[in-house]
Structure 1
Amino acid sequence: INNPSPPPPTPPPVQRTLILKLEAAAIETELLTDYCFGRQQLVETWGHACAIAIARAFPLSSLSKKQPTVLVVCGPEQNGAVGLVCARHLHIFGYEPTIFYPKRSSHPLHQDFTVQCEKMDIPFLSYLPTEVQLINDAYNLVIDAILGPETDLSPEKEPYGSILLTLKQVKIPMASVDIPSGWDVEEANADGLRPEVLISLTAPKKCAAAFTGRHFLAGRFLPYDIQKKYELNLPQYPGTDCLTQL
């Protein structure tokens, strides 16, 4: 009797962890409408997780300068608001953040986050230091919260073209929120920033496939039904952590 050959092993499922721009917008809309998340709740959750990621990537004990100074550069849209929340939590964690927020949003939510930082005596700069000043003024690192996936502004538009040009010359470590500023959501851009750390929000965007630095994901709050609907196959989060390293 000829025994039939065993069937070939079933290949493991493809781990799809990257999302497109339209999917990111659709997921956020579902969170706000179908799941009744508030925008303030989402921004606060993201900003807090970003601060924790920064603290893990750049612990206070590892910073070489005398003061644990951090420059947080905020854009006009939601990513900038996340940067404001991140700065506030870093201040609570013992860091010394300074914020550069050249085009403040008129959105009441963003204004509230700004007031919270001001009330905690976090300084705001009226100009971006030059690359030489950034080093000589003893900043340990820069947080890029400028142009997120929701921002339709061209990075060439001022003041953002000049900001990116300056930050690309900086040699101190940099961390970007959600996508490095100057990158397309779905592909890397050689003219964009090159941070050492990337903190993806909710789910990594497609452009993150080209990122080679230390990569964190802040999205544990994402409901399972949404993960299943978009076939995200996101990694497990350890213990009670609100973020995981990819």
Structure 2
Amino acid sequence: MAFKTLSAKAAAALDQELMSTGAFSIDQLMELAGLSVSQVVYRVHPLNKGKRILVACGPGNNGGDGLVAARHLFHYGYQPSIYYPKRSKNDLYQRLAKQLEDLKVPFVDDFPSAVKSTDHIVDAVFGFRFSGEVREPFPAVIKALEETKLPVTAVDAPSSWNIEDGPPVSGVGSKYNPDFLISLTAPKPLVKHFKSRHFIGGRFVSPSIAEKYDFEVPDYQGLDQFVEVGNGTEKL
């Protein structure tokens, strides 16, 4: 049986539900999402493959997940660096950035140059709320992700992809296919176009909320905050 997907509208409603009747704060949800991302990176790119991890963060929640993941990766023994060109003035994001600064995690200004001195890239630029065109300064980021030979892990969605329809037909992102994707809470419809290793993360949804939104909670094992599934939404 395949995993069901959540549309962008349903995913946004689910977030609101988790923060209302579910009694979670956005801080908690971001911490749990970022933790699951860090665990996937540890699984697909263990320390012996190279410790340098470049995390590209957008201005919204997806970027916040990336900042949390980078903090966890630092404590696992990696050497993360952060590309975060549009810093939010929101207190939560400022605190997440300061936590990294206190760890002396470097923030870089030139993403294409930073790609040349890393071992693995985390794409936490755009999440399920993305629509429209990729705006500056991110076209150069997407282009670098398209062209790199390094492994890339995308958070919830490959940046520039339409949440419903997948990669753009032409232009920025049309040739972008990351090596790994971690869908947060539940896969989005774009996964039908994704052909590489796919994970689901976010081990916090109650059975009642999953039933209300008509999706399946994966069978998480042991301490893992993620489950690997097949291409698209097919179970392994």
Asked whether the 8 Å contact 1:77–1:150 carries over to 2, the reply is no
Asked whether the 8 Å contact 2:55–2:66 carries over to 1, the reply is yes
Find out whether 1:35 has 2:22 as its counterpart.
yes
> What are the residue-to-residue correspondences of 1:37-76 with 2, within 5 Å?
37-61=24-48, 63=49, 65=50, 68-76=51-59
Cα displacement string for residues 201-224 of structure 1 (whole angstroms, at most 9, x for unaligned residues): 111111012111111111221111
Cα distance, 1:119–1:95 mapped onto 2, change above 3 Å: same
SS of match in other structure, 1:98:
strand
After TM superposition, give the deviation of residue 95 of structure 1 in Å.
0.6
Find out whether 1:217 has 2:217 as its counterpart.
no
> What are the residue-to-residue correspondences of 1:1-246 with 2, within 5 Å?
15-61=2-48, 63=49, 65=50, 68-130=51-113, 134-135=115-116, 137=117, 139-152=118-131, 154-155=133-134, 157-190=135-168, 191-192=172-173, 193-246=176-229
Letter of the structure 2 residue corresponding to residue 142 of structure 1: I
Letter of the structure 2 residue corresponding to residue 108 of structure 1: D
Q: Which consecutive unaligned segments of at least 5 residues does structure 2 have?
A: 230-236
After TM superposition, give the deviation of residue 168 of structure 1 in Å.
1.2
SS of match in other structure, 2:5:
coil
Asked whether the 8 Å contact 2:56–2:66 carries over to 1, the reply is yes
Asked whether the 8 Å contact 2:205–2:217 carries over to 1, the reply is no
SS of match in other structure, 1:228:
helix
Asked whether the 8 Å contact 1:51–1:86 carries over to 2, the reply is yes
Asked whether the 8 Å contact 2:59–2:88 carries over to 1, the reply is yes
Letter of the structure 2 residue corresponding to residue 121 of structure 1: K
After TM superposition, give the deviation of residue 167 of structure 1 in Å.
2.0
Letter of the structure 2 residue corresponding to residue 184 of structure 1: N
Letter of the structure 2 residue corresponding to residue 166 of structure 1: A
Asked whether the 8 Å contact 2:130–2:163 carries over to 1, the reply is no
Could you say what the CA RMSD is over the residues aligned between the two structures, in angstroms? 1.5
After TM superposition, give the deviation of residue 237 of structure 1 in Å.
1.4
- Number of residue pairs matched? 224
Cα distance, 1:94–1:119 mapped onto 2, change above 3 Å: same
SS of match in other structure, 1:231:
coil
Counterpart CA distance in 2 for 1:70 and 1:15 is 32
Asked whether the 8 Å contact 1:77–1:151 carries over to 2, the reply is no
After TM superposition, give the deviation of residue 81 of structure 1 in Å.
0.5
Letter of the structure 2 residue corresponding to residue 46 of structure 1: A
SS of match in other structure, 1:113:
helix
Asked whether the 8 Å contact 2:119–2:151 carries over to 1, the reply is yes
Q: Which consecutive unaligned segments of at least 5 residues does structure 1 have?
A: 1-13
Cα displacement string for residues 57-81 of structure 1 (whole angstroms, at most 9, x for unaligned residues): 11112x1x5xx10110000110001
Q: 2:233 maps to what in 1?
A: none
Counterpart CA distance in 1 for 2:20 and 2:226 is 24
Counterpart CA distance in 2 for 1:186 and 1:95 is 34
Larger radius of gyration: 1
After TM superposition, give the deviation of residue 84 of structure 1 in Å.
0.4
Counterpart CA distance in 1 for 2:164 and 2:70 is 27
97-106 vs 232-241, greater mean Cα deviation: 232-241
